[in-house]
């Protein structure tokens, strides 16, 4: 339906992630990582990455985010800077500014903020 260049990002399985923050975990502070990371729980603070970040459907993230590619299926309160791609799925919600080379807002998603697409 959508022609997104980074389709391999959506084919990532759970075993492709070195670290998964489980749904029963609440974390406050700064998260830095270099390998694909999935959040299923709650995060408050900031996230810095040179890799991919998936915010799963029941996750709640109150943080500024900087990552290579970001897939939002849950809820994000904060600005997102995606180096290559930010994809907000139909179950996703972003309340904050987003900036990336490619931005996709799926029908049904919620977005409130400014969007900047870098060349």
What is the structure's pLDDT at 83? 94
| pTM across the whole model | 0.89
Tokens of 74: 């849950």
Q: Which of 87, 49, 81, 45 is nearest to 63 (CA)?
A: 45
The residue length of the chain stands at 119
What is the structure's pLDDT at 1? 31
Q: How confident is the model at residue 2 (pLDDT cuts 50, 70, 90)?
A: very low
> What confidence tens digit (pLDDT) does each residue in 47-80 have?
999 999 999 999 999 999 999 999 999 999 999 9
Tokens of 112: 């409130």
> What confidence tens digit (pLDDT) does each residue in 86-117 have?
999 999 999 999 999 999 999 999 999 999 99
Tokens of 44: 């408050």
Tokens of 1: 């339906």
Distance between CA atoms of 1 and 60, rounded to whole angstroms? 27
């Amino acid at each position: 339906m959508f022609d997104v260049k980074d389709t391999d990002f959506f084919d990532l399985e759970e075993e492709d992630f070195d670290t998964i923050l489980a749904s029963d975990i609440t974390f406050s502070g700064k998260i830095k990582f270099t390998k694909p990371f999935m959040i299923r729980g709650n995060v408050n603070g900031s996230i810095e990455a040179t890799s991919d970040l998936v915010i799963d459907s029941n996750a709640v993230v109150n943080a500024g985010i900087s990552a290579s590619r970001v897939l939002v299926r849950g809820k994000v309160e904060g600005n997102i800077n995606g180096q290559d791609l930010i994809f907000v799925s139909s179950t996703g919600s972003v309340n904050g500014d987003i900036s990336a080379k490619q931005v996709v807002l799926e029908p049904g998603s919620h977005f409130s903020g400014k969007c900047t697409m870098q060349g």
